[in-house]
Chain A
Amino acid sequence: MSNENVISVDGLTKRFGHFVAVDHISFDVKRGEIFGFLGANGAGKTTAMRMLCGLSLPTEGKATVAGFDVYTQNEQIKKNIGYMSQKFSLYENLTVKENIRFYAGIYGKSDQFIRQKTEKVLEQLHLTNEADKLVGSLPLGWKQKLAFSVAIFHEPGIVFLDEPTGGVDPVTRREFWNMIYEAAANGITIFVTTHYMDEAEYCGRVSIMVDGRIEALDTPSMLKQQFDAASMDQVFLKLARKAERSDN
């Protein structure tokens, strides 16, 4: 992990009319870091993430992602990030290979690059024999792992994972996190939201959002100390109870 900031956010705010979805949040994320972005439903995580991905313009505040400004350079940002959403994001009626080809294609990668890397990725995932099967026929765990591989296929500097392990069994989740560690070791910065508190423990640093504001930000062990809690679960509950809004 270097000291270079790949995401740097200062006072970032998003208002929808009178509703302040994201309220002056500030943080930095360093290269190769696994940054956990936690918060209850409706806390403003997704809105914040959308601003960082260049999908939504902030109302005020500053933010740069991979060195590019979110207001003016979202085209460059998009080229330098990967994204995997909570909703499953591969095409079920395309084969494994076709999905990889398609996503690599929309990032403008060359045929040679795609061909060589596809083989490598399939081998790593032990999917070589399933390469020509429709993604719809794969078990969910494999799909999620494949989706992650596809999200970092074009070798982005940062990958945003929006609740990537929803609905996946514990064993696969563990394997999934091994992939995340490996990617981080290769210098890819991981920005991940999750509802699983055991996963929060895997993160290098964790921020917890409540009602649009970041209420806590530190390493999991420091957070536990700060809030006098035995687990991240307790830390989260102590903070989330203060919330006045939720989407339910």
Chain B
Amino acid sequence: MTLHELQQACAALRDEAPARIAAADSLDAWHELRNTLLGRKSGRLTELMALLPQLAKEERREAGAAVNALKQTLEAAFDARKGELEATASRGPTLDLTMPSRASWRGAVHPVSLVIDEIGDIFRELGFTVALGPEAESPWYNFTALNFPDNHPAMDMHDTLYLKDGGVLRTHTSPVQVRTLQSYAPPVRILAPGNVYRRDFFDATHAPAFAQLEGLAIDEGITFADLKATLAHFARAFYGQRTPTRLVPSYFPFTEPSGQMEVFFDVGDGRGARWIEIMGCGLVHPAVLESAGLDSERYSGWAFGMGPARIAMSRFSITDIRLFYDSDVRFLEQFA
């Protein structure tokens, strides 16, 4: 072996190696090729190195440098190729990333509850907590304590569902007012969500039972102006800050003065924006405070009641209230 022959062998290896390295199309092929060329026992380069001692001493240095340079070149090429192959491997085989995910079932809060929660969030910021009361209620809490005169038409069998053992299914959440005022000393600021019952037959806009949301604020010095401002604040928070609001006269036995809060709003029924009643309200009637044993000269306050189902109907463009009760999963899943 001459220096010249060794140099030729190096050149041949340098010429053929890049194509072969590039042709290694898997990590296995890469390992095999690297072993063939650079393997410590039988690699071609190793074989060339093994020839060095056969050279003349003065040629050995030059030849050694050439072989080492080649080794470095090849190792760099192998490293680069390995990086490419690894990158390809990490992307995996032919995976179609547009295939659907493995989903879990999505649950949903009922649309009427969504509205109750949203209203509740606004009033929570104003210091309100949640109170509850029974749906099977005594006539005293449902009517008498709320200043309904005897023989009020609402107490009629045509409007109220009576229980066999003397109770009624509450016709509104207002009994919670008196129960709460009997249980807790003012200041009282509560929301009372719950189901109420009327002797209404089902149709697209009426149901025999529906959700109501009652609000009550009692303390010394609470005024009708505060009611108006607070409920207008609520209405703007709920319907949008630019929504016009107005408070107009109304009547309920348990409030005096009474009003209804209205917003100028497009409920999406195709009739355009108009004044929509969103709640009945008023200063709590002195007789109601007295029902709970409060001094009506010292304490005052306001109350309101609203129907979340009606709001949910306009918010979600639902035209038949019966959908809220049917519990059709195809309806419910839309609120997930």
A and B assemble together = no
Interface residues of chain A, those whose CB is within 8 Å of chain B, are none
Interface residues of chain B, those whose CB is within 8 Å of chain A, are none
